[in-house]
Copies of this chain bind each other. A is one copy, B any other.
């Protein structure tokens, strides 16, 4: 709020550096020193100057990845018609992100499990994570009500979708020649079969 242009640019530069380091070496080895080097800064003090603390920086990383993901996924999901197509679009566009922004999802998976401990941050993260999950839950319940989806526990299904996508991201980190498009299609097929109302 009320940030100058250079200030905003500096913060973006640092967040970008953090994403790269997180994707490359993992959360445990991501230090201000490493980020500063990556971002071309001369001292770690500069990071502390621009961010209230490590937590704020990490929260910004999450926010940035969210922003990028939303920008890519939302229109693709919106373009889909019907519950099944939307679920497919969600899964496929999410995995396509691997090719578009190779480090963002990896960075996210490094940060999220390590945000706990800090009360406020955790609370905030848990809330938004739960909100997202609940949104998907409601979508699925609507689909069940509309007759397109079979009966299943929506929480478990939404959690499974997330976990499956995350697992693909994780494997892709150590095996980048994986074809995201093909895997995305397969995964969408999988959950299409898992959710589809049974043929009678």
Contacts and interface: CB of A to CB of B under 8 A. Distances in A.
A53 to B, nearest CB: 14
A196 to B, nearest CB: 8
B194 A26 contact: no
Nearest to A125: B174
Contacts of A196: 193
Interface in A112-148: 113-114, 116-117, 126
Nearest to A193: B194
Nearest to A194: B194
Contact of A189 (B26, B114, B152, B168): B152
Interface in A65-91: none
Interface in A176-194: 183, 186-187, 189-191, 193-194
A114 B167 contact: no
Contact of A190 (B126, B166, B187, B194): B194
Contact of A164 (B28, B114, B160): B160
Nearest to A199: B199
B156 A190 contact: yes
Contacts of A167: 159-160, 162-164, 166
A20 interface: no
Contact of A157 (B159, B163, B190): B190
10 shortest A-B CB distances, which residue pairs?
Answer: A163-B167, A160-B164, A194-B194, A163-B163, A156-B186, A163-B164, A153-B186, A28-B114, A193-B194, A159-B167
Given A156-B183, A160-B187, 14 more contacts: A26-B114, A27-B27, A110-B113, A150-B193, A152-B186, A160-B167, A163-B163, A163-B164, A163-B167, A164-B167, A190-B194, A193-B194, A193-B195, A193-B196
